[in-house]
């Protein structure tokens, strides 16, 4: 089987009927941003299935507009913390936080593959997407940039960006629990125990408020501005506005959210670091660490020469892809989840931004390095950017998806790919 066929096979195997799990075992439910990437991948060979994925995702929307980060369609004892721990009282059961709002970005890409076939589908999704973006604006952008109330909301769970906020979270009283993730993959590639205690403490706080998002923002144990979500949301607002205009809708409200968010970017620019930086919204302190979230700026057309210099420094210090944390800093840990590894899915978003900003040579370098990793080791969740060691879950949905939409599009190496 060549790699295209393998990638399609992974999507089909991870398809649970209307939604796709990120990978079997480690992540047995529907995850929000994974699902949007799955839809993008399906669009390369099964367009109706791509739209179904987004429909299922958006059908989990809460009354306040939030689209949760995990949707627990069918109970699975192999995952912790499951639906009874979150206890959100929603149908279908879900977690109580959100995740990077990339669905509108993917919906626009998918629609572009076949306008006629997609028009009715995107029309049905549009009001739900607007509702979710309004939720981000009303509940998470009250300080300007997009804020997260839990590191899992960022999608970049344990990246060093959150260390200063995590230091203020007391995880000592969470009680006994059994992790499941470390039974599925090498514990050295996962967040540590102290991190997990704090993740659970934040969850318990949210649950104690009855998942009242305003209360969580006002008084929760963790609130940080996230450059990654800020850029993805900004880009998604602009894509949603373009979709709305094509559908003949009044998009002035969406445009006003985008303008406000763009004008908040100086608040996450740390001149001392020479990059966009996460910020603790409880005391305004910058994280002072360079992470891959900063490079998502290109996706929102917010690059600049100083950021370019940081990108090249961090990238040239490794061999494969953009590292999730600064390879020249002491905290760099090349195989531990978001503390160093390169993530094919993030590379795909950064490359999209680079291409659109006229940097196609850099985008091609990123594509070819990401393709090398997949060709060497398969569709892993993430990789060591120094020696290419495959990490985390195998046969991963979003890695297969971005192979089909982006990394596998190797015009010059087409023959090699066919032979793989």
Within 126-155, which residues bind ligand DGY (CB under 6 A)?
152
Which of the following is catalytic: 46, 87, 157, 308? 157
196 counts as binding ligand DGY under rule CB under 6 A: no
Q: How far apart are CA 286 and CA 114, in angstroms?
A: 44
Cβ nearer to ligand DGY, comparing 157 with 356: 157
Q: What residues are paired with 224 via a beta bridge?
A: 148, 280
User: How many Å separate Cα 303 from the centre of its chain?
Assistant: 19
Q: Which residues of 351-366 are buried (b: 16+ CB within 10 A; e: fewer)?
A: bbbbbebebeebbbeb
Q: Confirm whether 369 is a catalytic residue.
A: no
Q: How far apart are CA 3 and CA 60, in angstroms?
A: 33
381 counts as binding ligand DGY under rule CB under 6 A: no
Cβ nearer to ligand DGY, comparing 7 with 203: 203
Cβ nearer to ligand DGY, comparing 65 with 393: 393
Fill in the DSSP letter of residue 137.
Answer: I
Cβ nearer to ligand DGY, comparing 51 with 382: 382
Which one among 4, 55, 157, 356 touches ligand DGY, defined by CB under 6 A?
157
Which of the following is catalytic: 226, 381, 384, 395? 381
Cβ nearer to ligand DGY, comparing 69 with 237: 69
Within 176-195, which residues bind ligand DGY (CB under 6 A)?
181
369 counts as binding ligand DGY under rule CB under 6 A: no
Q: How far apart are CA 246 and CA 118, in angstroms?
A: 12
Q: Confirm whether 381 is a catalytic residue.
A: yes
Q: Please report how close the Cβ of residue 87 comes to ligand DGY at its closest, in angstroms.
A: 16
Q: What are phi and psi of 159, to 5 degrees?
A: -70, 155
Q: Please report how close the Cβ of residue 291 comes to ligand DGY at its closest, in angstroms.
A: 16
Within 221-260, which residues bind ligand DGY (CB under 6 A)?
none
| Under 8 Å between Cβ of 94 and 203 | no
Q: How far apart are CA 278 and CA 290, in angstroms?
A: 9
Residue 314, CB-side half-sphere exposure with 13 Å CA sphere: 30
What tokens appear for 342 in the block?
């390169």
Binding mask 67-96 for ligand DGY (x = CB under 6 A): --x---------------------------
Q: How far apart are CA 270 and CA 361, in angstroms?
A: 27
Q: How many residues bind ligand DGY (CB under 6 A)?
A: 4
Give contact residues for ligand DGY (rule: CB under 6 A). Answer: 69, 152, 157, 181
The residues that are catalytic are 157, 381
């Amino acid at each position: 089987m060549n790699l295209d066929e393998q990638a399609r096979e992974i999507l089909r195997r991870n398809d649970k009927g209307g939604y796709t799990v990120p990978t079997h075992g480690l992540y047995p439910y529907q995850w929000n941003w994974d699902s949007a990437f799955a839809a993008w991948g399906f669009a390369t060979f099964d367009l109706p299935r791509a739209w179904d994925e987004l429909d299922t995702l958006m059908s989990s929307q809460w009354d306040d507009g939030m689209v949760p980060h995990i949707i627990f369609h069918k109970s699975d004892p192999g995952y912790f913390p499951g639906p009874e721990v979150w206890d959100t009282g929603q149908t279908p059961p879900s977690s109580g936080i959100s995740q990077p709002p990339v669905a509108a970005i993917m919906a626009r890409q998918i629609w572009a593959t076949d306008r006629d076939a997609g028009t009715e589908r995107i029309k049905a999704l549009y009001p739900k997407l607007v509702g979710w973006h309004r939720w981000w604006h009303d509940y998470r952008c009250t300080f300007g940039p997009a804020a997260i109330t839990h590191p899992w909301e960022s999608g970049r769970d344990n990246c060093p960006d959150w260390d200063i906020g995590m230091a203020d979270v007391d995880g000592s009283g969470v009680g006994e629990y059994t992790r499941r993730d470390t039974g599925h993959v090498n514990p050295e590639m996962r967040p540590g125990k102290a991190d997990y205690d704090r993740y659970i403490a934040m969850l318990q706080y949210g649950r104690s408020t009855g998942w009242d998002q305003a209360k969580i923002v006002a008084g929760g144990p963790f609130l940080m501005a996230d450059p990654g979500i800020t850029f993805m949301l900004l880009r998604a607002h602009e894509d949603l506005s373009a979709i709305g205009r094509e559908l003949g809708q009044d998009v002035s409200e969406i445009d006003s959210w985008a303008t406000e968010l763009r004008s908040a970017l100086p608040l996450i620019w740390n001149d001392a670091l020479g990059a966009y930086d996460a910020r603790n919204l409880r005391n305004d302190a910058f994280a002072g660490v360079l992470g891959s979230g900063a490079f998502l700026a290109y996706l929102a057309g917010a690059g600049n020469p100083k950021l370019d210099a940081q990108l090249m420094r961090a990238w040239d210090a490794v061999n494969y892809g953009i590292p999730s944390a600064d390879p020249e800093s002491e905290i760099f840990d090349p195989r531990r989840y978001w503390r160093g590894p390169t993530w094919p899915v993030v590379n795909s978003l950064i490359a999209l931004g680079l291409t659109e900003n006229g940097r196609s040579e850099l985008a091609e370098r990123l594509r070819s390095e990401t393709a090398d990793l997949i060709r060497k080791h398969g569709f892993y969740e993430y990789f060591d950017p120094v020696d290419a060691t495959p990490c985390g879950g195998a046969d991963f949905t979003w890695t297969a998806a971005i192979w089909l939409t982006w990394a596998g599009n190797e015009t010059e190496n087409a023959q090699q790919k066919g032979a793989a």
